[in-house]
């Protein structure tokens, strides 16, 4: 039987979820998570609340999107705290399945992420996006949301999900929510809790590099990447160092790298690397304007100011 704490219903099996879903009236927004909820997740839940009559949150650490040498076993699992946050944010339904509920047997038919899933983060983590898309499709089938909310911090993930929904005619509206940051600019992540104080200082180089790239947007794509890389070169000599996986400027809909000096339109400056044993990612959306519309060199960058917790 599903648990109920106040108005929050917690379903752990497919049958409990189906029973809870059958009682939903109006529109339903789903916020898929792997738990270890923080202020970034709260922002997703709040957007869901503004957008739909009913809000559901899924909490499931998906083994399919972790590689053999990644942190699946140590990934933080804080269900009691997560449920308290969901209750405080007015969530109506939480789906918190076990691994055997989500995968009763080893899946043989899965979602393949295609060429977009093999570049940038996909090149650094082979198979990651196949596993992510597979679990998202399963959640869409089980929860049957009208819309789903994802964070823009995982920009390639968001682009992949939008592509899957479009290519497979999935009747779910996919919405993105802006990245929430610590006061020093570090993007909020469940993995930040792994960082020591010294590692935390090094991790802040990621957002500093993105801000430097944004400051150079008026000078064109190559200068954006050069400015960001200059900061990251300093991070490589920090103690402990930031070991980069990639720094790329890409088209936000395809994640193909932008190398045309005359490019105009939207772009994403994305970076990822290891601090100690912790894999961190970050990105910043940019827009390259035609020369006659380009901002003056003194114009501020578009990096959103940090949001206080």
Q: Are residues 219 and 94 in the same domain?
A: no
Q: Please tell me the distance from the alpha carbon of residue 230 to that of residue 256, in angstroms, as a whole number.
A: 22
Domain presence at residue 304: no
State whether 155 and 275 are in the same domain. Answer: no
**What's the average model confidence in pLDDT over 125-136?**
97
CA 305/CA 97 separation, integer angstroms = 36
Confidence (pLDDT) at 7: 85
Give the catalytic positions in this structure: 41
Q: Pick the closest to residue 56 from 88, 22, 90 (CA basis).
A: 90
Mean pLDDT, the chain, rounded, equals: 93
Tens digits of residue pLDDT in 176-189: 999 999 999 999 99
Confidence tier at 69 by pLDDT (50, 70, 90)? confident
Residue 302 has pLDDT above 50, yes or no: no
Query: In the chain, where does DSSP find H-type helix?
Result: 14-22, 39-51, 79-88, 99-102, 121-124, 128-143, 155-167, 197-203, 205-215, 221-235
Asked whether residue 307 is assigned to any structural domain, the reply reads no
| CATH code where residue 213 lies | 3.30.1300.10
Q: Is residue 160 part of a domain?
A: yes
Range 158-184 average pLDDT: 97
Are residues 105 and 67 in contact, defined by beta-carbon separation less than 8 angstroms? no
The reply to whether 168 and 198 lie within a common domain is: no
**Structural domain boundaries, residue 274:** 190-293
140 and 205 housed in the same domain? no
Regarding whether 123 and 44 lie in a shared domain, the answer is: yes
Q: Identify the CA nearest to 33 among candidates 193, 189, 224.
A: 189
Residue 11 sits in the same domain as residue 33: yes
Domain termination residue (choose one: 177, 208, 226): 177
pLDDT digits (tens, 9 = 90+) for 84-118: 999 999 999 999 999 999 999 999 999 999 999 99
Pair (278, 234) in one structural domain? yes
State the DSSP code for 252. T
According to DSSP, the residues that pair with 30 across neighbouring strands are 56, 148
- The CATH number assigned to the domain holding 58 equals 3.40.50.620
Note whether 75 and 195 are same-domain residues. Answer: no
Taking residues 242-264, what's their average pLDDT? 95
Q: How many residues does the chain have?
A: 309
Q: How many structural domains comprise the chain?
A: 2
Q: Provide the 10 A C-beta neighbour count for residue 40.
A: 21
Asked whether residue 219 is domain-assigned, the answer is yes
Q: Distance (Å, rounded) from C-alpha 224 to C-alpha 211?
A: 10
Q: Is residue 116 domain-shared with residue 257, that is, in the same domain? A: no
Domain final residue pick, 136, 153, 177:
177
Rounded Cα distance between 178 and 50, Å, is: 15
Q: Are residues 167 and 194 in the same domain?
A: no
């Amino acid at each position: 039987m599903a648990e109920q704490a106040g108005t929050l219903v917690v379903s752990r099996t497919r049958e409990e979820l189906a029973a809870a879903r059958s009682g939903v009236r109006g529109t339903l927004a789903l916020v898929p998570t792997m738990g270890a909820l923080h202020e970034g997740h709260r922002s997703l839940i709040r957007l869901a609340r503004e957008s739909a009559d009913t809000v559901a949150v899924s909490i499931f650490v998906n083994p399919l999107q972790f590689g053999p040498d990644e942190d699946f076993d140590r990934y933080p699992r804080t269900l009691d705290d997560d449920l308290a946050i969901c209750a405080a944010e007015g969530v109506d339904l939480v789906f918190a399945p076990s691994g055997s509920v989500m995968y009763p047997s080893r899946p043989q038919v899965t979602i393949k992420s295609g060429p977009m899933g093999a570049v940038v983060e996909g090149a650094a983590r082979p198979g990651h996006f196949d596993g992510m898309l597979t679990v998202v499709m399963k959640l869409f089938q089980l929860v049957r949301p009208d819309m789903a909310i994802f964070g823009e911090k995982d920009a390639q993930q968001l682009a992949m999900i939008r592509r899957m929904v479009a290519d497979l005619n999935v009747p779910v509206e996919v919405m993105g929510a802006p990245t929430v940051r610590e006061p020093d600019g570090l993007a909020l992540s469940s993995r930040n809790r792994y960082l020591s104080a010294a590692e935390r200082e090094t991790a802040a180089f990621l957002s500093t590099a993105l801000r430097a790239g944004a400051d150079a947007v008026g000078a064109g794509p190559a200068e954006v990447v050069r400015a960001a890389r200059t900061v990251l070169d300093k991070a490589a000599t920090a103690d402990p160092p930031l070991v980069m996986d990639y720094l790329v400027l890409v088209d936000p809909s395809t994640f193909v790298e932008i190398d045309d000096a005359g490019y105009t339109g939207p772009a994403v400056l994305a970076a990822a690397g290891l601090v100690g044993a912790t894999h961190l990612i970050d990105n910043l959306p940019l827009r390259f304007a035609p020369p006659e519309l380009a901002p003056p060199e003194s114009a501020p960058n578009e990096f959103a100011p940090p949001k206080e917790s």
